[in-house]
Homo-oligomer: A and B are copies of this chain.
Amino acid sequence: MDEFSLIERFFSQPNAGAAQANSALQQGIGDDCAILRVPLGKELAFSLDTLVAGVHFPVDADPGEIAWRLLGAAVSDLAAMGAEPNSFTLALTLPELTEQWLKKFSQQLAIAADKYQITLAGGDTTKGPLTLSVQVQGFVEQGQALLRSGAAEGDFICVTGNLGDSRAGLELLDVEQPDTAQRYLLQRYYRPVPRVATGLLLRAYASACIDISDGLLADLNHILRRSEVGARLDADSIPMSDAMRQVAGDNALQWALGGGEDFELCFTVPALQWPALQQQLQQHQVAVSTIGVVTAAIELQIFRDGQWQHIAASGYNHFSSE
């Protein structure tokens, strides 16, 4: 089986229906390039993400779970811009052409693509150490993309959902018979759900937005740097699930602030816009927490245990209070 028939067999078929339903995609898999017609008045938002075996997931990870995480994480970048998903390309580097691996992977990728309403439009398959890159592409009204650079003094800082769940799920990978709470955390780890609908809602209200891939502090810090502002956070307002608290114990706040890959949105909103946005969010049943305010001073402080503490903005688990 050569590369060409492999791509045709595993990746052309499952997505054929979706490609036909995608009126913007003039030419999908099978030519030197794919061709996309961006609707009038819209711009293209695009982002490229890579997952490496042994770094971002275990070498023997279930191919279906890899597909879900790969696409979920990538689509989350579209959500963070307030963009509507349209199409994606896949660079798949595989040690060998294992039919079983490809079958599982392509099947779940097609299901995930269907769920996120995004069409596989092309890609490249090569031989080498297991590495996957995805470029996602979406549409956003001209000039309306949610950038990181718009936060201003006095804006509220908000996050969707709960933080630290994915970090807690990581602790549970070896649990053989997970209970309900553990299953919730494992699901959050394996199948992050990009906040696409919420990103679309935010577009009319938020001043800046980012998705939380590296951890709240690290990602919030990108907004602060690009906007040239600081932030004051309230530790008691950081949203955490009971399930996560149970697994984390004393590490709960640390995981919520520093644990990555929750793929929730962190955004800032001018105080004047907040009531209208809050109404919209409630109407669409989106859980959002206000966790702090933007300051003119270039600082990052958190109110915790009755006092203000300066904190480092580093991601992952490097949380330190100075």
Q: Could you tell me if B38 and A83 are in contact, using CB atoms closer than 8 angstroms?
A: no
> Is residue A33 within 8 Å, beta carbon to beta carbon, of the partner chain?
yes
Main secondary structure of the interface of A (DSSP, over half): strand
Q: Could you tell me if B33 and A93 are in contact, using CB atoms closer than 8 angstroms?
A: no
A46 interface neighbour in B33, B126, B133, Cβ under 8 Å: B33
Known: A50-B91, A128-B52. A33 touches B226 (CB 8 A): no
A33 interface neighbour in B2, B52, B55, B80, Cβ under 8 Å: B80
Chain B neighbourhood of A34, CB < 8 A:
45-47
> Is residue A98 within 8 Å, beta carbon to beta carbon, of the partner chain?
no
Show the binding face of A for B, using Cβ within 8 Å. Answer: 2, 4, 26-27, 30-38, 43-56, 77-78, 80-81, 83, 89-91, 93, 121-124, 126-129, 131, 133, 135, 137-138, 140, 142-143, 145, 147-149, 209-211, 222, 226, 314
Which single residue of chain B is at the shortest CB-CB distance from A3? B214
A131 interface neighbour in B30, B48, B93, B121, Cβ under 8 Å: B93
Q: Could you tell me if A127 and B93 are in contact, using CB atoms closer than 8 angstroms?
A: no
Which single residue of chain B is at the shortest CB-CB distance from A218? B4
Chain B neighbourhood of A55, CB < 8 A:
126-128
Q: Could you tell me if A127 and B52 are in contact, using CB atoms closer than 8 angstroms?
A: yes
Bound CA span A317–B300, Å: 60
- Among A2, A27, A32, A93, chain B packs the most CB atoms within 10 A around the CB of A32
Q: Could you tell me if A32 and B93 are in contact, using CB atoms closer than 8 angstroms?
A: no
Bound CA span A47–B273, Å: 41
Q: Could you tell me if B131 and A46 are in contact, using CB atoms closer than 8 angstroms?
A: no
A81 interface neighbour in B35, B138, B145, Cβ under 8 Å: B35
Q: Could you tell me if B36 and A210 are in contact, using CB atoms closer than 8 angstroms?
A: no
List 4 additional A-B contacts (Cβ < 8 Å) besides A26-B43, A32-B80, A33-B80: A33-B145, A35-B145, A48-B90, A89-B135
